[in-house]
Amino acid sequence: MGHVKRDLHVNERSLQEKYPALDNPLGLRILLSDYHALLNRQYQGDYDAVVLLADLSTAIELAALTRRQAEALRLVYELDLTQEEAGRRMGVSQQAVEQHVNNAIEAISEVYYFWSHHGEGYAINGEL
């Protein structure tokens, strides 16, 4: 039987390099800013993108965001609105949206931080 010369884990390594530490707000912001690209990868059959998005969804749920935090996050990262546009939709200032997003990202990154310290597949600085 022949050997496969194709690197079967190239996508996984690529994502690990791009998102080395989701257990902090900076790493999570990088992931959220690539939300639409990850959706595209998911629809192209990239299993690793599917896993990242599923984990993100779970982390958001476990973060127990307030209604305002969840809405601000959705408007800014899912609908790609500016914070100013999101503020107009929410009836609040851009600064309030920024604070809601920052608080949401902090809460979500705490979930990833917990996972990284309890053997849930995430590690600090990408070390598994």
* Predicted model pTM: 0.79
> What DSSP assignment string belongs to 27-66?
HHHHHHHTHHHHHHHHHTT-HHHHHHHHHHHHHHHHTT--
Other CB atoms within 10 A of residue 83 CB:
20
pLDDT of the residue at 21: 76
Please, what are the averages of pLDDT over each run of 10 residues along the chain (128 residues)? 49 59 88 93 90 93 96 97 98 98 97 84 46
Which sequence spans correspond to the domains of the chain?
22-126
The Cβ-side half-sphere exposure at 92, using a 13 Å CA radius, reads 16
